[in-house]
A = this chain, B = another copy of it.
Amino acid sequence: MEPARAVVRLYDSTIPSGNGYKVRLLLSHLGQHYERVPLDILKGETRTPAYLARNPNGKIPLVEFDDGTFLSESNAILVYLAEGTPYWPADRLDRARCLQWMFFEQYSHEPNIATSRFWYYTGLAGGREAALAEKHQAGHAALGVMDRQLAQTPFFVNARYCVADIALYAYTHVAAEARFDLAPYAAVRSWLDRVRAQPRHVTMT
């Protein structure tokens, strides 16, 4: 397999972003150094013509490689960097299960837990009570699905920590900031400890 390009720059958020943290956590596991460029989303720094030329979708995280190319979408970046390392499964069905949990994360988890957290964090929660209530219910459903899996296996894909765990750890470990109580999810709480115990783990802030 061809080696991964080296990440020279990570465009991240000044407000602590779980999606940016995913990439920082994997790069720490891999022992790679890079420049972090924090952008203020609320001031429109991801909507400037210069930034949109790098990522037309106007979001962080975005990585810039040593050959001047760019890659966006946190979970696509994780897979790109993890291929050929212990963080990406060797078995074909295990790879698919890893992706299954990463798509679950972006569809069923992040829009509920991360978006609620962002609204509370930035003072945008006021007046969004109905939307927050829907997100609260859907976020708890996602936590329940996670807990059911983690009661059976120590990590999302069997016994081995992989990029699906990194993707789901990012916003689960700060779920309290989105007013989600993890007390009912014993298997999730044990898994959070196992993730924190991985070599070269770094915290979000």
Contacts and interface: CB of A to CB of B under 8 A. Distances in A.
Interface of A: 1-2, 4-5, 56-57, 69, 71-77, 79-80, 83, 91-93, 95-97, 99-100, 102-104, 106-108, 110-111, 131, 145, 148-149
Contacts of A73: 99-100, 103-104, 107
Question: How many copies of this chain does the complex contain?
Answer: 2
Given A4-B92, A72-B100, 14 more contacts: A56-B145, A57-B145, A69-B93, A73-B99, A73-B103, A73-B107, A74-B103, A75-B103, A76-B97, A77-B96, A79-B99, A80-B95, A107-B107, A131-B131
Nearest to A4: B92
Contacts of A1: 92
Given A5-B93, A80-B93, A92-B83, A75 B99 contact: yes
A166 to B, nearest CB: 14
Given A56-B145, A106-B103, A76 B91 contact: no
Contacts of A80: 92-93, 95-96, 99
A164 to B, nearest CB: 10
Contacts of A149: 56
Contact of A148 (B56, B69, B99, B104): B56
